[in-house]
Structure 1
């Protein structure tokens, strides 16, 4: 997100008043919210009320989520402009506040409502050993939120069988397959999102179930071998000492 000084794009503005500070926005705001989309430009302009005197009380400040924005000196007096360009996902919910430097209680704020789709539309290959658990994850973060459905080989999954578990916190949607079996679970899985704004989007997982590899605990195995070897050596030494004593 880049903030720069703007001196134009002030048409079709929405004006709201809080005491002696006015904030104008393009595109037009609905109340204190400006709706926009990723890669677009939002222009914010702050002006002071003409009834105030001409002293330095007219100096303005901008804050983004409470953090002071660095302004050039000529962009602080009477009238101050900002550009959010280009708008990014991280700007969603960002609150821009214009206030008098001499009196922070004289202020006005605008919040950005950035619409963006979920980051999907790709394919991932997943290899998993039989009887292991597998978790398939989709980034479903979007504004407005989307509806999520899971499919296998283009058919909706029956989530009532207990063979699958799903979670969705609005950011990540996950499908868990516990103790996967090749003949039951291998195939193409799809995480599909739908919304009135972005229609259908999806991510595909090609799940291949491989033979389970027997794994031996290397550490305990080595320790056991060492113990056996030491026992054998001690037994041989003891046997030799016993034979010497018998023949002495």
Structure 2
């Protein structure tokens, strides 16, 4: 009897599996721009991008919620039930890497997220003149922000700059590219170019470094002492002259 019961259970398993799959297949799910799973949306700086969320396989009216990052997006009436659209306008570089999520109001585990991949070139151009006293430090900074990130390099007088000298220091982040020169010398005079290669294009900014003669340094204490001596001498002379006038 035990063996017969076990066989009966085995025969029922396929039916249970089919039933389970049927339930999953007909279950409620969300889609954003026809995607039912999280996805990345590549775009450029354009006037607008529309994201459309749809509740599929629903058996009742379903309220939908939109989030930008962790913050909830305010939706107008008529744009919350079964279908909900949001518009990102205009699309800028600040939207790059931002996640938009559509969620089911009654079950927030049902959701689809969109990661915006906004591609944009670097904003790098122009020139700048720097007058620096010999022996002082100077820093030249470039805006290197772009997506995808470009390749950066520094040139001096159109020749790739060798950074073996200990006086040269580089600092770079995803948005900033800096060259610092410590204790500039006359030999550092020239045009320094920050060059960023992006896709098939190239952007640059030039810095014309002019190293000026060092200003003579006077001993402050000696100057103050001399001023005091001269002032006292003049005062004594005035007082002595007044006494002489009164005696006459």
Fold shared per TM-score above 0.5:
yes
Q: Which runs of 5+ in 1 are unaligned?
A: 1-17, 237-248
Instruction: Say if 1:47 and 1:30 are closer, same or farther in 2 by CA, change over 3 A.
Output: closer
Q: Is residue 197 of structure 2 the alignment partner of residue 194 of structure 1?
A: yes
Indicate how the Cα distance of structure 1 residues 168 and 217 shifts in structure 2: closer, same or farther if over 3 A, else same: farther
C-alpha spacing 1:52/1:122, structure 2 compared with 1 (3 Å): farther
Judged with a 3 Å threshold, the aligned counterparts in structure 2 of structure 1 residues 130 and 30 are, in CA distance, closer, same or farther, namely: farther
CA contact (8 A) 1:133 1:178 kept: yes
Deviations 1:67-121 (A, max 9, x none): 0111111111110111112210110000001112222222111010111112101
TM-score (norm 1): 0.74
TM-score by length of 2: 0.74
- 1:67–1:141: structure 2 CA closer, same or farther, 3 Å change rule? same
- What is the DSSP-based 3-state SS (H/G/I as helix, E as strand, rest coil) of the residue aligned with 2:86? strand
1-side partners of 2:211 and 2:37: how far apart? 52
> 2:60 aligned with 1:53, yes or no?
yes
Match of 2:178 among 159, 174, 183: 174
Which one of the candidate residues 141, 151, 154 is aligned to 1:150?
154
The answer to whether structure 1 residue 70 and structure 2 residue 74 are counterparts is yes
Q: Counterpart of 1:213?
A: 215
Q: CA deviation at 1:193?
A: 0.9
1:96 aligns with 2:100: yes
2:107 alignment partner, SS class: coil
The structure richer in helix per residue is: 2
C-alpha offsets along residues 165-214 of structure 1, whole Å, 9 cap, x if unaligned?
A: 222122211111111112x111111000113x252111111111122224
Q: 1:142 to 1:217 in 2, by over 3 A?
A: farther
Contact 1:159 1:165 in 2 (8 A): yes
Larger radius of gyration: 2
Count of residues in correspondence between the two structures:
208
Distance 1:29 1:162 in 2: 55
C-alpha contact (below 8 Å) 1:47/1:78 kept by paired residues: yes
Question: Residues 37 and 215 (structure 1 numbering): CA distance in 2 closer, same or farther, change over 3 Å?
Answer: farther
Corresponding residue for residue 4 of structure 1 = none
Q: Please say if residues 23 and 98 of structure 1, whose CA atoms lie closer than 8 Å, have aligned partners that are also in contact.
A: yes
